[in-house]
Chain A
């Protein structure tokens, strides 16, 4: 995988679920999405992003989770963000 712009972000994960995920993937030599490094670097900020995402994507609402994922995928496609 290409290195990220910020080495410190990549090299200084804090204890978090994403840090464990990264280790598992690195140990097995598999590729993984580098957004995990962002979540592992600054968990005090990104935990709120995670909670926001959980609420808006899976919280009780009349739009089904599948519809909500389609909206997210459609928007990410138009933002040219493959992940």
Chain B
């Protein structure tokens, strides 16, 4: 049970988007720019950064939902997602992504944990300023989303299978459609 009166049919952040559509709109648009719109980092890489940060924050809804989207973007390879969460240094991902995950992990502990050496290290592995910038913003944004979801006590399904149909929809269509989907659901429910 959430701490405030939400639509209990909706899990995680979806219940919060439904509760407060005015703030849902920019939050979804930010997620779309960071995770879905064209970028030199692949969608899978960006979802892995979001999933990793969410797992560090112990946010079940976000790490499972974005882990499912990452797996979808990786042709269904769930083991890479599990490995990144367990020990990304041993995961079959590029050294560049590993260097960005070091930075993302530090942002999760606190922005001041990131050092000039971490940034230099990522540059050595070929990361551009835009990629480092986006990594930090994804990590910082997910700390916000994670705290938003858990700070209001939203529920999250335990079975990863239940996340997969929506993961496919979001992986294909992006995040910008979420606010209008919610408005349509609310209009249907009101009738």
List chain A positions with a Cβ less than 8 A from chain B: 5-9, 38, 41-42, 44-45, 48-49, 51-52, 55-56, 59, 79-81
With the chains together, A67 CA to B158 CA distance in Å? Answer: 37
List, in ascending order, chain B residues with CB within 8 A of A80's CB.
110, 112
Q: Is B152 in the interface zone, CB < 8 Å from A?
A: no
Chain B: CB-nearest residue to A59 = B22
Q: Is B129 in the interface zone, CB < 8 Å from A?
A: yes
A9 CB to closest chain B CB (Å) equals 6
- CB pair A48 B33 closer than 8 Å: yes
With the chains together, A6 CA to B34 CA distance in Å? Answer: 18
With the chains together, A56 CA to B25 CA distance in Å? Answer: 12
Q: Is B116 in the interface zone, CB < 8 Å from A?
A: yes
Q: How large is the interface on B (under 10, 10 to 19, 20 to 34, 35 or more residues)?
A: 20 to 34
Task: Answer whether A7 and B26 are a contact pair too, CB < 8 Å, given A44-B33, A48-B33.
Answer: no
List, in ascending order, chain B residues with CB within 8 A of A5's CB.
114, 116, 119, 132
Among A45, A51, A55, the residue within 8 A (CB) of B137 is A45
B129 CB to closest chain A CB (Å) equals 4
- CB pair B26 A51 closer than 8 Å: yes
With the chains together, A80 CA to B128 CA distance in Å? Answer: 28
With the chains together, A50 CA to B26 CA distance in Å? Answer: 8
- CB pair A52 B129 closer than 8 Å: no
Given contacts A5-B116, A6-B129, A42-B133, 10 further A-B contacts (CB under 8 A): A6-B119, A38-B133, A42-B130, A42-B137, A44-B37, A45-B137, A51-B26, A51-B29, A56-B23, A59-B23
